[in-house]
C-alpha cells in the first residue's frame, strides 16, 4: 500500500465508492474528527493503566474505525462492487452501545456519587480522558450536522454520545485509581 498517492494534492479526497469531495466537506470533517478522537484514545491506552481498560480502549478504537468507515461511505454507496463480488462496508451494531453502557455501569459502582460538575484535570491520564471526551462531543456535533444534510446511521450518534459518557466516567475512575481529588465546579457569585 503506497502512503502517498498525490490524488489529494488539489484539495479533494475520495469517499468509499469513489466520489470525490473537497477535503473540507462535512463528511470528511466528521470522520476526520473521529480519527482525531481515536488518536487521543490511543494516547490514553499508552499510559500506565490497568490491562482491562487497555483492552476496552482497543475495542473502542476498532469500533471507531468501523464508525469512520460508515461516515466515509455515502448512503448510495453502502455496497461496493469488487469484481463480481460485493464488498459490504462494516457497520456498528447496538451491542457496541450496550458494551459501553455496561462499562459505565461497572465503573460507576466503585465511584462516589457525583453531586457537582467536575473540573478537568488532576493527573495527565485524567486530563487525556477529558480531552478525548471533548473531541468526542465535537465529533458528535459534526455528525448531527451531517445528519441534518444527509441521513446517517442513528447508531453513529448514539455511540458517540455514549462514548463521551464512558470517557467522562473513565476520567473519574482514573482520579480514584491515582488518588487524585476531583475538584468540584462551584460557580462564583458576583
Kindly provide the b/e burial profile for residues 108-145, where b requires at least 16 CB atoms within 10 angstroms of the residue's own CB: eeeeeeeeeebebebbebbebbbbbbebbbbbbebbee
Looking at domain 19-109+116-177, which CATH architecture does it have?
Up-down Bundle (1.20)
Phi, psi of 21 (to 5 degrees): -135, 160
Q: Among positive and negative, which fits the CA dihedral 50, 167, 68, 96?
A: positive
Q: Are 147 and 160 in contact (CB under 8 A)?
A: no
- Domain boundaries defined on the chain: 19-109+116-177
The reported pLDDT for the residue numbered 81 is 52
CA distance 128 to 35: 16
Our CA dihedral for 35, 125, 109, 118, rounded to 10 degrees, sits at: -90
Give pLDDT < 50 ranges for the chain. Answer: 83-86
CB within 8 Å of 132: residues ≥ 6 apart: 37, 40, 41, 43, 44, 167
The reported pLDDT for the residue numbered 73 is 86
Burial class (CB in 10 A: 0-12, 13-18, 19+), 158: middle
CA distance 163 to 101: 9
3-state secondary structure of 63: helix
3-state secondary structure of 126: helix
Amino acid at each position: 500500500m503506497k502512503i502517498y498517492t498525490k490524488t489529494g494534492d488539489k484539495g479533494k479526497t475520495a469517499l468509499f465508492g469513489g466520489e470525490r469531495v473537497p477535503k473540507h466537506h462535512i463528511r470528511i470533517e466528521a470522520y476526520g474528527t473521529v480519527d482525531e478522537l481515536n488518536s487521543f484514545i490511543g494516547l490514553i491506552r499508552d499510559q500506565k493503566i490497568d490491562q482491562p481498560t487497555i483492552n476496552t480502549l482497543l475495542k473502542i478504537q476498532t469500533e471507531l474505525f468501523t464508525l469512520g468507515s460508515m461516515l466515509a461511505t455515502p448512503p448510495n454507496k453502502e455496497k461496493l462492487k469488487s469484481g463480481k463480488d460485493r464488498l459490504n462496508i462494516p457497520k456498528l451494531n447496538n451491542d457496541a452501545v450496550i458494551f459501553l453502557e455496561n462499562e459505565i455501569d461497572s465503573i460507576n459502582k466503585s465511584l462516589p456519587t457525583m453531586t457537582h460538575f467536575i473540573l478537568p484535570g488532576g493527573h495527565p491520564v485524567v486530563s487525556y480522558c477529558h480531552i478525548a471526551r471533548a473531541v468526542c462531543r465535537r465529533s458528535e456535533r459534526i455528525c448531527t450536522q451531517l445528519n441534518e444534510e444527509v441521513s446517517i446511521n442513528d447508531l453513529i450518534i448514539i455511540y458517540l454520545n455514549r462514548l463521551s459518557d464512558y470517557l467522562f466516567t473513565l476520567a473519574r475512575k482514573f482520579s480514584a485509581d491515582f488518588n487524585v481529588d476531583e475538584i468540584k465546579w462551584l460557580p462564583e457569585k458576583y
